[in-house]
Structure 1
Amino acid sequence: MPHYLLTLTVQAHPAGATVVRVTGELDLHTAARMRRSTDRLPLAPGGVLVLDLSGLTFCDSVGVAELLHVYRTAVAAGATAAFAGATESLLSTARTTGLDQVLSFVAGVDDALPPQEQAGGSASSDG
């Protein structure tokens, strides 16, 4: 029996966001593991969930559906969800399917945080 590798590591970001680092393959064989793990996340109104996809090596259509499920779960809880570090292949799929119009793809985890949280809790304005 083949071994399918997907690792999810949940961490609290210093700015208060929940960050889930996704490593390995997200596909038919690992999607249920992803759903079980992400459905247990403590999402609250106003919360921020960031999926760090920089370690994702493969994502098929079932995996894309799981990303959409994570987004919908966050929105239902009143939280926001962002997807950081996606590969060019995943971004291309998102553009082709229109998913880039629904999901928020950002370059890195810190790019998913509101500006005041990126700056350590203090917002500043020029001028």
Structure 2
Amino acid sequence: MTIGLVQVFGSITLESVGRVARDTANLPEDDTVVFDMGRVTEVDSTAVAQLLHWIRVCQQGNKQVRFRNMPESLLALADLYGVDAMLPVDVEGIA
């Protein structure tokens, strides 16, 4: 099994999600894609939608997906919207 890393940085908000989508449009060809969220500086509900999009894209490509270094603010939003259980978060990688 091969693992590809995607570094996500900056804000993931309504204003910046276009940049984030462009920056992550070409996912690694590996069996598992790990999104490192450690450099994310700001989030809103758009970030939750982006996480769910990445999950859907990976599933369509028969890839496993993981999130690490999740900001507490993003975890709180996922909990608020009731999708936290859907997010494959590495517990040791929570920022």
Could you state the TM-score of these two structures normalised by the residue count of structure 1? 0.65
Deviations 1:63-98 (A, max 9, x none): 221111111100110001111011111111112212
Q: CA deviation at 1:16?
A: 2.7
User: CA 1:56–1:79 in 2, change beyond 3 Å: closer, same or farther?
Assistant: same
2:6, 2:27 within 8 Å by CA — same for their partners in 1?
Answer: no
Instruction: Verify: 1:35 aligned to 2:24, yes or no.
Output: no
In percent, how many aligned pairs have the same letter? 33
Q: CA deviation at 1:59?
A: 1.0
**Structure 2 counterpart of 1:105:** 89
**Structure 2 counterpart of 1:92:** 76
2:13, 2:42 within 8 Å by CA — same for their partners in 1?
Answer: yes
Distance (Å, rounded) in 2 between the aligned partners of 1:33 and 1:18: 20
Greater length-normalized contact order (CA 8 Å, ≥ 6 residues apart): 2
Describe how 1:16-95 pairs up with structure 2 within 5 A: 16-43=2-29, 47-95=31-79
Count of residues in correspondence between the two structures: 93
Larger radius of gyration: 1
2:47, 2:74 within 8 Å by CA — same for their partners in 1?
Answer: no
Structure 1's unaligned 5+ residue stretches are 1-14, 109-127
2:13, 2:45 within 8 Å by CA — same for their partners in 1?
Answer: yes
Could you state the TM-score of these two structures normalised by the residue count of structure 2? 0.84
Distance (Å, rounded) in 1 between the aligned partners of 2:71 and 2:4: 21
User: CA 1:97–1:52 in 2, change beyond 3 Å: closer, same or farther?
Assistant: same
What is the Cα-based RMSD across aligned positions, in Å?
1.9
**Runs of at least 4 residues off by over 6 Å:** none
